[in-house]
């Protein structure tokens, strides 16, 4: 179970890839965590602020899932990087 393994390796949120990308359409930086959410989950004019928002959203979502007794999805780091490289 992910939550048991995470106890020795930092917070559960540390295991999920997060990234921020500029959107010409939105004229803002968009934050993504593909393992937990479909599409962008936050935006900001500043890259660092968008990333900070993203970290907060991911940590709150994981905490909520754990409080409800839900299993967390396995991080898919290798798959995400492969997909990102092809887009």
User: What long-range pairs does 11-18 form, CB within 8 A, spacing at least 24?
Assistant: 11/59, 12/62, 12/66, 12/72, 13/55, 13/58, 13/59, 13/62, 15/75, 16/58, 16/75, 17/75, 17/77, 17/80, 17/81, 18/51, 18/54, 18/55, 18/58
pLDDT attached to residue 37: 94
Enter the pTM of the model: 0.76
Tens-place pLDDT, residues 35-79 = 999 999 999 999 999 999 999 999 999 999 999 999 999 887 655
Q: What is the residue range of 37's domain?
A: 2-86
Tally of structural domains, the chain = 1
């Amino acid at each position: 179970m992910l939550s048991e393994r995470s106890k020795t390796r930092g917070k559960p949120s540390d295991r999920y890839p997060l990234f921020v990308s500029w959107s010409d359409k939105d004229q803002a930086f968009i934050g993504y965590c593909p393992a937990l959410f479909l599409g962008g989950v936050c935006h900001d004019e500043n890259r660092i602020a968008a990333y900070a928002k993203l970290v907060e959203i991911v940590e709150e979502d994981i905490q909520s899932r754990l409080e409800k007794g839900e299993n967390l999805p396995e991080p898919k780091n290798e798959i995400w990087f492969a997909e990102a490289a092809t887009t």
